[in-house]
Structure 1
Amino acid sequence: MMPNPPAPGHSVGYSTFTAIGDVLIDNLEPRLYLTGGVQRYPDVESPHLKAIGWYVEGVKELYRDLRARGFRLVDSRDQILEADEWAGGPSPFHTFEADAGMRYDFFEVFPFPLDPRVNEGWTIPPVSDDDPLGIEHASHHTILTSQPERALELTVDVLGAEVIHTGRDDLRGVSGPYVRLADAVFHFATPEPGSAAAADASDNEPLDTYHAITWKVVDLERAARHLESEGLRIAHRSDTALVTDPVSSLGVPWGFTTVSVSGGDVR
């Protein structure tokens, strides 16, 4: 049974949620997502990663800080928020894409039955022997940008992230700073001309593009066998990492690696 709409003109039943390791993916159908009776995202021919969201302790203080630093913030109707204080509640506020490069969502911590991570004492489940992919956790998120300093202004200067190193992802043909924020790593990377990443970024320039998630796995060959058995093609591969062909993998070039990015590049 569908819940009642949270507000007049706001739809329900537009998302499905998938928990993978330490990441919760919200799969949203644009044609079904309405706020104020208006479709908020354009139709898509192929799926694509869109936004990143965080639960924030002290989200009201963060709201004030972001506005004080000149970041414009919007609500779910894409209207600029002018209030001095954030009212709170389960709905997030979002960065204005032109200021932050892409859409980042900030949620007040609240009990959400579809997200197991909010349960007290939750930890990442261990990989079972019969898990066909053997995903341990998210290795890193790849954000394509021609202005990494803009991304660092938000993540490092405001949110307190740490640049752990600057490096290259050989399989994707991108380079830039790797940033650790909370329990996640982000690669704010500039694509090299002629790479598949450059083609993906061109659709959004001068904004940034949420290009991919790379997963840390226990065994690359084990992951590759399962991907291929399900009809996914591997576009690029090395001894320690692979990238899927997005045409065969829901429009996203997912990555899988056996090496931690905290100490080096992806090769």
Structure 2
Amino acid sequence: MSENTRSIVNAQARERDFRVKMIYHPVLHVVDLDEAEDFYRRVFGRSSTPLASVRKAPPKPNHSIDHSIFTSVGDVLIDSLDPKRYITGGVQRPAVEQGHLQTFGWYIEGMPELYRELKHQGIRVTNSQDEIAEGDELPMAGPIPHFHTLPVDAGIRYYFFPLFPFKPDLRLTPDWSIPVVSEDDPLGIEYCSHHTVLTDNPNRAHKFVVDVLGGTVIHEGHDNVRCVTGSYVHLADAILQYAAPDADSAAQADLAANGADDVYHAITWKVVDIDRVERHVEAQGLRILTRTDDTIITDPSTSLGVPWGFTTKRVPGDPR
């Protein structure tokens, strides 16, 4: 029995006291919020909601509220954050020279149960101040339970929140469903195909998303377009690609730049027509890094630092 197959069996064999409900906002660090807002409007045909329009006062003194915008694209809410405008406890983050996806997380039902399970599995967590949680008391962000994983234990600083009302996240409304593709959608996006995380430690990634969180490996193999090899894990409402890059590839350069941690590399969208995507992104001044009969990857230097993917293919085994 392979390592991945063993993980699938272990994950399916036991019940959990918590439930992973849906993916929580991917965070994209950007150079400039105005540039990002313009990009989403021109390229994705989507408007964005500034955090400052939702949160009228800082949650704590010396905390910024004008550092993020939120953009709904299909079934994903993207949090674009300008680090140089992000201040907590009076401390300002350094600016970035190029944008890059940073992390994502999950809405959880049963936060105390998840916290205990992570500790049982030896996966340490921190509070919002990056202090390691040592005891049995659940880390909180104000009145809300909230914690992060340590990258050395989980690969990425993933984060967890309970379901709570957040106006920009339309998915939390009872009657929400994935929007039907409209004729005026310039990219013809149906939904998010998958998120790509680069790793040279697949066992760590599988322990976390499969053995602990309960994801299921639905496909394994080489991705000729992104030049990576690995597995696709279905968890809650999303598919996560955990993959090792080919030597001398753009993905390998991205992973190598981040030391021993995994890297949130890209988001790929399922679209109705790849020619429609090509015409639009080129009209908006984006360069195309890779083009096949069914998939396009954009040059990150022209697209907020992200090699966005657009494909008419479904991930094999996708149950959604």
* TM-score normalised by length of structure 1: 0.94
Query: C-alpha deviations, 1:208-230, integer Å up to 9, x for none?
Result: 00000000001110111111111
Q: Which has the higher contact order (CA 8 A, sep 6+)?
A: 2
Q: What letter corresponds to residue 192 of structure 1 in structure 2?
A: D
Q: What letter corresponds to residue 301 of structure 2 in structure 1?
A: V
CA distance in 2, matches of 1:149, 1:123: 34
Match of 2:124 among 66, 69, 72: 72
Is 1:26 the counterpart of 2:85 in the alignment?
no
Counterpart of 2:101 in 1: which secondary structure?
coil
Query: C-alpha deviations, 1:7-40, integer Å up to 9, x for none?
Result: 223221111001100001101111121222223x
Q: CA deviation at 1:147?
A: 0.3
Q: How many residues align?
A: 263
The 5-angstrom pairing of residues 128-139 of structure 1 reads 128-139=182-193
Distance 1:102 1:28, change over 3 A: same
Q: CA deviation at 1:83?
A: 3.4
Q: Which residue of 2 aligns with 1:81?
A: 133
Match of 1:17 among 70, 92, 108: 70
The 5-angstrom pairing of residues 143-154 of structure 1 reads 143-154=197-208
Counterpart of 1:262 in 2: which secondary structure?
coil
Is 1:52 the counterpart of 2:98 in the alignment?
no
Match of 1:117 among 171, 176, 179: 171
Contact 2:289 2:298 in 1 (8 A): yes
Query: C-alpha deviations, 1:63-94, integer Å up to 9, x for none?
Result: 11111211111122111122313255446311
CA distance in 1, matches of 2:75, 2:209: 20
Match of 1:8 among 51, 58, 61: 61
CA distance in 1, matches of 2:94, 2:112: 30
Q: CA deviation at 1:193?
A: 0.6
Contact 1:23 1:138 in 2 (8 A): yes
Contact 1:215 1:257 in 2 (8 A): yes
Query: C-alpha deviations, 1:78-121, integer Å up to 9, x for none?
Result: 11122313255446311111111111110111011111011112
CA distance in 1, matches of 2:151, 2:83: 18
CA distance in 1, matches of 2:199, 2:303: 23
Counterpart of 1:65 in 2: which secondary structure?
helix
Counterpart of 1:153 in 2: which secondary structure?
helix
Query: C-alpha deviations, 1:211-261, integer Å up to 9, x for none?
Result: 000000011101111111111111101111110011111111000000101
CA distance in 2, matches of 1:82, 1:13: 32
Q: Which residue of 1 aligns with 2:18?
A: none
Is 1:188 the counterpart of 2:242 in the alignment?
yes
Q: What letter corresponds to residue 287 of structure 2 in structure 1?
A: R
Q: Which residue of 2 aligns with 1:214?
A: 268
Contact 1:36 1:77 in 2 (8 A): no
Unaligned runs of 5+ in 1: none
CA distance in 2, matches of 1:93, 1:147: 23
Q: CA deviation at 1:262?
A: 2.7
Is 1:176 the counterpart of 2:230 in the alignment?
yes
CA distance in 1, matches of 2:66, 2:196: 29
Residue identity (%): 55
CA distance in 2, matches of 1:215, 1:91: 31
Distance 1:22 1:107, change over 3 A: same
Is 1:35 the counterpart of 2:35 in the alignment?
no
CA distance in 2, matches of 1:46, 1:160: 34
Unaligned runs of 5+ in 2: 1-52
Runs of 4+ off more than 4 Å: none
CA distance in 1, matches of 2:88, 2:242: 31
Q: What letter corresponds to residue 27 of structure 1 in structure 2?
A: S
Q: What letter corresponds to residue 246 of structure 2 in structure 1?
A: E
CA distance in 2, matches of 1:3, 1:149: 43
Q: What letter corresponds to residue 160 of structure 2 in structure 1?
A: F
Q: Which residue of 2 aligns with 1:260?
A: 314
Q: What letter corresponds to residue 92 of structure 1 in structure 2?
A: H
